């Protein structure tokens, strides 16, 4: 059956993200006293009373036609309301009702969806402002995301309005998780929106528009994906404390939980050291990676322009020559479909497993062509090997003196493995152990 969805909505700074984090049991959304920290839709799964459902945190609903970002944030919230099966309407009990609260209430009533009003920041239910019942909703529940009070009652009310799950539902099929990372304003959100075919992320020329890491699901060619839009990552010395600091932490966490990383660079600019550092983080974490050159539609080019740009990028990222380079335009959609195909291929290589027989056949051929050189007067023998893990592929070779295997021979074996089995798009790890 379709996924059940609960949307958390309200005006800015009423405690929506804190409630979202409490429901999902994780600090996924950034919480800050500054209004407008959440701008995009942020999705996560939750479970209550045996029912699994998705929860979406939204930006504050406000009306300011002079502010493009505020209007896009409102549109994000409206899209979440359209998609939701039930709505949690959060109102700040400490400030009392405002004109914005009345406006949001009218919007929710027009939606025709079930609405549960959560009075936030109520540390003691005896002190709740009962004026909130004047908004006209039947269910008003005092809550405190900080202390967890009222959350059980709130979720009891929510699941009553959700389509009931079938216990015989099939488990979710294998999903490829893709993190989109890069410096600010390289077009990450534009690319995500192009892939999804909708404006899931707020897009602006102002660097730093995306602050949270935003998960969204889509399907392409029968394969399911989750794509994660992230905040732009600036050089460490330029990262401001507070919201930006936590945004960058979220971006790096998105890399940790991904299968494939799209490291975006701005094709209208020369590759920068920060581009290399961001891509290197994915490499160090053993993630499959694609180097994506965006905004290629805006580049004046001839038949050699792409080759020259790739040469510069490859020179800077020589430690990850396995990563394919794809030139795209998020604005026009050029080669975006090809990029998704490359992502799938890289994910498959990241998960690939080679039989022990094939590994040892390869090892014997490699040893015949190029025996292990002696080190410090000792003869080094490699007896056998095996692939011991995937994501990334990891190979272990057992030897009499593993500590004397020179790094150049390690690189030789890695190159031999790649020449034989491919593994395009993914790092591979080669280790040596002493045979006991």
Q: What CATH topology corresponds to 356-434?
A: GMP Synthetase; Chain A, domain 3 (3.30.300)
Q: Parse the chain into domains and list their residue ranges.
A: 5-160, 175-350, 356-434
- Ramachandran angles phi, psi of 284, nearest 5°: -65, -30
The percentage of residues in the chain with a pLDDT greater than 90, rounded to a whole number, is: 52
User: How confident is the model at residue 198, as a pLDDT?
Assistant: 57
Same fold, 5-160 and 175-350: yes
Q: What is the pLDDT of residue 269?
A: 96
Structure tokens, 103: 């406006």
Give, for 360, the enclosing helix (H) or strand (E): helix 356-369
**CA dist 200 → 7, 117, 155, 325, 382 (Å):** 14, 25, 26, 25, 53
Distance CA 103, CA 430 (A): 60
In this predicted structure, what is the pLDDT of residue 147?
A: 87
pLDDT above 90 for 132: no
64 — pLDDT class (breaks 50, 70, 90): low
Does position 34 have pLDDT exceeding 50, yes or no?
no
Confidence check: pLDDT of 400 > 60: yes
Tell me the pLDDT band of 279, cut-offs 50, 70 and 90.
very high
What lies within 8 Å, CB to CB, of 294 at 6+ separation is 186, 187, 190, 191, 264, 265, 266, 267, 328, 329, 330
Instruction: Indicate the burial class of 368 (C-beta count within 10 angstroms; 0-12, 13-18, 19 or more).
Output: exposed
Average pLDDT (122-142) is 80
pLDDT for the residue 259: 95
pLDDT of residue 17: 87
pTM of this prediction? 0.62
Per-residue model confidence as pLDDT tens digits over 182-215:
999 999 989 999 998 854 444 334 344 333 456 7
Give 217-261 pLDDT, tens digit per residue: 888 988 999 999 887 787 665 545 444 455 666 778 788 889 999
| pLDDT value of residue 236 | 60
User: Which range has the top average pLDDT, 94-108, 116-130, 403-417?
Assistant: 403-417
DSSP letters along 208-262, please? Answer: T---S-EEEEEEETTEEEEEEE------GGGPPTTHHHHHHHHHHHHHHT-SEEE
Superfamily of domain 175-350: P-loop containing nucleotide triphosphate hydrolases (3.40.50.300)
Q: Compute the mean pLDDT over every residue in the chain, rounded to the nearest whole number.
A: 84
Q: Which of 76-80, 144-148, 232-236 has the lowest mean pLDDT?
A: 232-236
At 33 the pLDDT is: 44
Q: For 115-127, what is the mean pLDDT?
A: 83
Which range (82-96, 113-127, 234-248, 422-436) has the least confidence? 234-248
Q: Say which range, 56-65, 180-189, 259-268, 427-436, has the weakest mean pLDDT.
A: 56-65
**What superfamily in CATH does domain 5-160 come from?**
P-loop containing nucleotide triphosphate hydrolases (3.40.50.300)
Pair 293, 317: CB distance under 8 Å: no
């Amino acid at each position: 059956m379709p996924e059940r969805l609960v949307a958390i909505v309200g005006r800015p700074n009423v405690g929506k993200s804190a409630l979202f984090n409490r429901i999902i049991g994780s600090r996924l959304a950034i919480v800050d006293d500054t209004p407008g920290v959440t701008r995009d839709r942020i999705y996560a799964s939750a479970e209550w009373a045996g029912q699994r459902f998705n929860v979406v945190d939204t930006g504050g609903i406000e009306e300011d036609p002079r502010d493009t970002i505020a209007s896009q944030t409102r549109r994000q919230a409206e899209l979440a309301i359209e998609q939701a099966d039930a709505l949690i309407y959060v109102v700040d009990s400490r400030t009392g009702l405002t004109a914005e609260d009345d406006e949001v209430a009218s919007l929710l009533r027009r939606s025709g969806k079930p609405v549960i009003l959560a009075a936030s920041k109520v540390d003691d239910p005896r002190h709740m402002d009962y004026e909130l019942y004047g908004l006209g909703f039947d269910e008003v529940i005092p809550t405190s995301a900080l202390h967890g009070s009222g959350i059980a009652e709130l979720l009891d009310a929510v699941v009553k309005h959700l389509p009931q799950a079938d216990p015989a539902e099939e488990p979710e099929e294998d999903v490829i998780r893709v993190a989109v990372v890069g410096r600010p304003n390289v077009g990450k959100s534009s690319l995500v929106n192009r892939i999804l075919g909708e404006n899931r992320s707020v897009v602006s020329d102002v660097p730093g528009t995306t602050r949270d890491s935003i998960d969204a699901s889509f399907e392409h060619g029968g394969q399911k994906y989750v794509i994660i839009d992230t905040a732009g990552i600036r050089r460490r010395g330029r990262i401001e404390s507070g919201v930006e600091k936590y945004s960058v932490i979220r971006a790096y966490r998105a890399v940790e939980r991904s299968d494939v990383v799209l490291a975006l660079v701005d094709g209208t600019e020369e590759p920068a050291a920060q581009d290399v550092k961001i891509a290197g983080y994915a490499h160090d974490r053993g993630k499959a990676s694609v180097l994506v050159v965006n905004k290629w539609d805006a580049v004046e080019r001839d038949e050699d322009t792409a080759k020259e740009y790739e040469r510069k990028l490859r020179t800077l990222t020589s430690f990850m020559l396995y990563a394919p380079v794809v030139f795209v335009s998020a604005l026009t959609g050029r080669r975006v479909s090809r990029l998704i195909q490359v992502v799938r291929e890289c994910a498959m290589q990241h998960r690939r497993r080679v039989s022990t027989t094939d590994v040892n056949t390869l090892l014997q051929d490699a040893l015949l062509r190029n025996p292990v050189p002696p080190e410090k007067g000792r003869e080094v023998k490699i007896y056998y090997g095996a692939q011991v893990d995937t994501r990334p592929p990891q190979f272990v070779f057992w030897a009499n003196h593993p500590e004397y295997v020179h790094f150049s021979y390690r690189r030789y074996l890695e190159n031999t493995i790649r020449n034989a089995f491919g593994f395009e798009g993914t790092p591979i790890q080669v280790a040596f152990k002493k045979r006991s």
